[in-house]
Amino acid sequence: MIKGQDNDIKQECRDHIFNTYARFPVTFVKGEGCRLWDDSGKEYLDFLAGIAVCSLGHCHPELTRVIAENAHRLIHVSNLFYTYPQVELAVELTRLCFADKVFFCNSGAEANEAAIKLARKYSWERFGRGRFHIITMKESFHGRTLATLSATGQTKVHNGFEPLVEGFTFVDFGSIAAVEAAITEKTCAVLVEPVQGEGGLNFPAAGYLKELKALCGQKGLLLIFDEVQSGMGRTGTLFAHEQENVVPDIMTLAKALANGLPIGAMLATEEVATAFGPGTHASTFGGGPLITSVALAALRIISEPSFLEGVRETGSYFRARLEELRARYPFVASIRGRGLMIGMELTVPGAKFVQKCLDRGTVINCTHDTVLRFVPPLVVSRIEIDRLIGILDGIFAEEAR
Ligand code: PLP
């Protein structure tokens, strides 16, 4: 296969890789900061960041240095032994949030799988058998393993994989009454994204998460926050739940944790974490020394108060610029966002705008059919935002004609 001969790679991909992704006809070969280049040398502005993953931009020099240094030192030994970067990352993560303990894995789905298992095990030990149901939200997304797709409140994710894992009940996101009505003697936990990402960038009303915590407290349920997408500075605080002044019992992370290398983490309070002992859960690759050294370096940058303040400021600027478009184009229904997790709800399907942006050298994405999603690297500049706004303006003007 010869690099640069575009048809070859598409054909080879069709011939040899499972057909599980609808891919755009672009082959990326290089990235730097908020820019990507395809194999014809065309430059793109990246407002997707690998779906909220490359938060420090592509090939961040410090992270690349840490990758190279640790690739020379130690890549893998298994969790039968101690390694310094894994423990240092856990110390730093727990210092920065409510949690006392961390379990490392390799993806968001695995982190949620671990959280579901932990909630069941904790409840089994504390209350006995049969109390294993988890309330989750409609339009949520928690992953593609069997348990996490069963926990996901979208039938399109379930179709064809039934019977699903037993014990998940879906309620309206944002409604405390709906959660209250769904609680039974079998319920052990509530699982919720503080901000729904894949479900269309849905932000619950202020106070919702706090009320949820109070309700869980009253009923003896664990509260699990899936911060796989909303965490790691994406919304302008290290974790989105900080802005609601509430902490969960369990939290899951992945995506931006190592800026593009695969890692997931499940964090919990000491009390809840004790339900897992040796032999209850494991991962061969989870928390290996290479990946955790990169995650630690990324965390040190992202958790700096001045960095997070920058995310909030850039996010406000970006939303204000998107609001200008909303004021001018009637098919833009609303702008929703916090920090640099921003959605633009349209009254028409968004796919054609994504394609047109790509044609003009800009990567964005559409979720839930009508919501354009902007999750750029957190280091995006105002100049880059202005360029995107100019491109969207041109595309929208064509549509309005
Ligand atoms: N949870 C949330 C909130 C997500 O947005 C995603 C992925 O988009 C996942 C879980 C699954 O993560 P992964 O694709 O790493 O398994």
pLDDT in tens, the chain (401 residues): 555 555 689 999 999 999 999 999 999 999 999 999 999 999 999 999 999 999 999 999 999 999 999 999 999 999 999 999 999 999 999 999 999 999 999 999 999 999 999 999 999 999 999 999 999 999 999 999 999 999 999 999 999 999 999 999 999 999 999 999 999 999 999 999 999 999 999 999 999 999 999 999 999 999 999 999 999 999 999 999 999 999 999 999 999 999 999 999 999 999 999 999 999 999 999 999 999 999 999 999 999 999 999 999 999 999 999 999 999 999 999 999 999 999 999 999 999 999 999 999 999 999 999 999 999 999 999 999 999 999 999 999 999 98
Q: What atom of ligand 1 comes closest to residue 51's alpha carbon?
A: 8
Cβ-Cβ contacts under 8 Å for 93 (sequence gap 6 or more): 99, 102, 253, 265, 267, 299
Task: Check pocket membership of 337 for ligand 1, CB cut-off 6 A.
Answer: no
Pocket mutation for ligand 1, best pick of 228, 283, 285, 375 (most atoms within 8 Å of C-beta): 228
For ligand 1, atom 13, the nearest C-alpha belongs to 108
Ligand 1 centroid to residue 17 C-alpha, Å:
21
Task: Check pocket membership of 197 for ligand 1, CB cut-off 6 A.
Answer: yes
**In the chain, what are the domains?**
6-59+307-400 (3.90.1150.10), 74-302 (3.40.640.10)
Ligand 1 centroid to residue 142 C-alpha, Å:
5
**Whole-prediction pTM value?**
0.97
Pocket mutation for ligand 1, best pick of 104, 142, 145, 232 (most atoms within 8 Å of C-beta): 142
Task: Check pocket membership of 241 for ligand 1, CB cut-off 6 A.
Answer: no
